[in-house]
Chains A and B, each alone.
Chain A
């Protein structure tokens, strides 16, 4: 029955390991697990936000929301926004990373300037863009009119499809630097020998990109797309501040719907139901995505 010193040590280590992770677990439970369960619980009630009084209604919130056109429209908007802005981010990000990977004059300054949109606050980004988009005094309209592209100012944020397009563009501007830097870091680790070999085989620059660079970037792109898709799907600040969901509800995404339901319509329970459904959708997407990429890896 005597335990070897090795086993004793391992048990001590395991206990230490648990001790070290304990603060993380406590914080996770307090600010993530508990609120998550509470959100599901809240979604079973009808609650008036200012007084927090209400009654148990079971799953009727869910029945209601699935029957509401507004939910489906918001879901569609969320998907359009996510797919639109994500594709732009990836394309622009890879393009810019390839450019900055070459020898460019003042490369480090160029990199800083590219990175900046990602680090400024969304509040700042939105304010600046709303000022650029301004119908009367905005520089964009004046440049477009001045160069003869249009003869009337463009309504960037107040009509469709402009509002959705503007939103996607601003989102791409704000978040593509993330792709640039991540891709750039990976590009630096691709061995030159691979390019040499391709060149000896007679591959031009485009063929080299598709035959060498892209396969090497695959892993990092899988992660980037996953992360950015999640973040774009749940984006609130940028959309709320830029269009507020308008015109009507044409750019209203699910997070905005949750906020509106909770604090403008004062229906806290219904808002929680929307939030739970939104999370479920993301969960499904993520599982499917991870499965897909795993299968490809295996094959």
Chain B
């Protein structure tokens, strides 16, 4: 029993150390400005306040950025999942020339640093007249989200027994019919988990947003918050922490409800490679 207690204590101290920065983020966001300047800082706010959240929502563009991020991440997820599901089906269940090299190409695109693609992408958006739009970011985000999604979905797809599809085909279903009725339901958990990953990747992206967009109307949260609050006239840590908390809210929600899908995504991707 004693050993068990010690073990639990050890595990939980490790967990709490890892989680401490996030706890501190929440605490700081609730402190009034003058308490932030206290040296040494108090562990918990003496007079907790939500004024920073109010300021954030009322006096800044936070909500515009928030809406942009939602739109951007949703659009990217839809596009990427749509393309990648079909692509993964094709790569796993069809035979044609060049299939293997295509699979290699997918792996190769992992290699590419965003920073290599960003300069030509930027010039391309400029030429197409798309610079500064949310659409340009959706396109740009597929550069990292599509290979990742394709790769995850491929492993999920490979995990579905081939017999199921064959049985449906013997019963006279077309390939797409079999896909719809047999594969898709089996694949759904994998799709959800891949969609979550894509959403989170897009939600958190910074570099493309920094380079491709320079107007507040289409800035997402990551660059918007950095741009809005890190300035030369004042650095308002409590406001920054409040913004950080608010930025993480959708992730917390996704987490609370869909944790098992997230961990499944890790398993599929990493184990089966």
Contact = CB atoms under 8 A, between A and B. Distances in A.
Given A24-B86, A24-B150, A99-B10, A121 B115 contact: no
A182 B113 contact: no
Nearest to A181: B266
A227 B16 CA distance: 27
Nearest to A116: B22
A163 B222 CA distance: 23
B207 A20 contact: no
Interface residues of A, number: 94
A47 B30 CA distance: 48
B124 interface: yes
Contacts of B200: 119
Contacts of B251: 119-120
Nearest to B151: A227
Interface string A94-136: 0010011010110010111111110111111101110110101
Contacts of A116: 19, 22, 255
B244 interface: yes
Interface in B217-266: 221-222, 225-226, 237, 240-241, 244, 247-248, 251, 255, 259, 262-263, 266
Given A102-B7, A237-B207, A186 B96 contact: no
A131 B120 contact: no
Contact of B14 (A99, A121, A127, A241): A99
A121 B199 CA distance: 12
Interface residues of B, number: 85
A234 B84 contact: no
B87 interface: yes
A271 B118 CA distance: 11
A32 B40 contact: no
B86 A42 contact: no
A185 B150 CA distance: 20
Interface string B183-215: 000000000000000001001101100010000
Given A36-B116, A36-B117, A230-B110, A128 B22 contact: yes
A275 B24 CA distance: 37
B95 interface: yes
Contacts of B25: 124, 127-128, 131
A16 interface: yes
Contacts of B133: none
Interface string B91-122: 10111100100100100011111111101110
B22 A275 contact: no
A153 to B, nearest CB: 10
B56 interface: no
B15 A117 contact: no
Interface in B1-39: 7-8, 10-12, 14-16, 18-19, 21-22, 24-25, 28, 36-39
Given A32-B112, A275-B113, A220 B270 contact: yes
B37 A278 contact: no
A108 B259 contact: yes
A214 interface: no
Contact of B102 (A21, A115, A131, A137): A21
A24 B146 contact: yes
Nearest to B226: A123
A66 interface: no
A145 B40 CA distance: 10
A112 B116 contact: no
Contacts of A255: 113-115
Given A18-B90, A121-B222, A182-B270, A276 B28 contact: no
A88 to B, nearest CB: 13
A146 B42 CA distance: 13
B143 interface: yes
Interface in A172-189: 173, 178, 181-182, 184-186, 189
A59 interface: no
A39 interface: yes
Interface string A53-84: 00000000000000000000000000000000
Interface of A: 10, 13-14, 16-18, 20-21, 23-25, 27-28, 30-32, 34-36, 38-39, 42, 52, 96, 99-100, 102, 104-105, 108, 110-117, 119-125, 127-129, 131-132, 134, 136-137, 139, 142, 145-146, 173, 178, 181-182, 184-186, 189, 219-220, 222-224, 227, 230, 233-234, 236-237, 240-241, 254-255, 258-259, 262-263, 268, 271-272, 275-276, 278-279, 282-283, 286
20 contacts: A10-B95, A13-B175, A14-B96, A16-B175, A17-B95, A20-B87, A28-B105, A36-B112, A39-B119, A42-B120, A104-B8, A116-B22, A120-B247, A128-B244, A136-B39, A137-B237, A184-B263, A185-B271, A222-B273, A278-B113
